[in-house]
Structure 1
Amino acid sequence: MDLKDQLKNLFPDHIPEVSENEVDETLDIWLQDAPIICKYEKRKGKPITILEGYTGATEDFKMLAKELKQKLSVGGSYKDDKIIIQGDYRDKIMSILKDKGFNVKRVGG
């Protein structure tokens, strides 16, 4: 029995309020018709994966960048409407984006 169940037993007439801090885990990100381009480059001898071509809101793309970095446990950044992920993670990124419903196109190598 968790804390919420115990509180329901103690206060059966209480209706819990939904706070603004609780965010729904299923984020609504705008899905586009054109594919997101996933390409591989080497900069200063180190591999990076670049995602570009998203036409939705900038904030949605930033949230997507944060989620990808967390799932892959890697570093990266968002610059000039591009997500830059450190390392060659094209296959993993493409599978994550396809699961979310995006069209992804692999470019290069």
Structure 2
Amino acid sequence: MSWIVLIASGILEAVWATALGKSDGLTKLWPSVVFFGGLTLSMFGLAYAMRDISTGTAYAVWVGIGATLTVVWAMVTGDSDISWLRILLLTGLVGCIVGLKLIDPGHE
């Protein structure tokens, strides 16, 4: 269950990071509301997941999911250019995230 919550929290990290960018320095209401809501839920999910997943692994996976999805969303919406190099680097990041999940011993 902790891994599912961690993945959902990583997705929410991408949501709040994107909303923060759209909030124009927290001056636009709805992007700011989405930012604070996503941030809160994402942090609570990360904290929950860290009860069973080691801190280093949980944090790296959470950040990696959030960063990857934020960049992918920016490419899909046209806010960022799509390039083979960018796709290759994101693929490497995802591979590292999966690798961390596979070798995580949890709390000992």
Higher relative contact order (CA 8 A, sep 6+): 2
Which TM-score tier does this pair reach, normalised by the shorter chain? under 0.3
User: Which structure has the greater CA radius of gyration?
Assistant: 1
Q: TM-score, normalised by structure 1?
A: 0.27
- Bigger strand share: 1
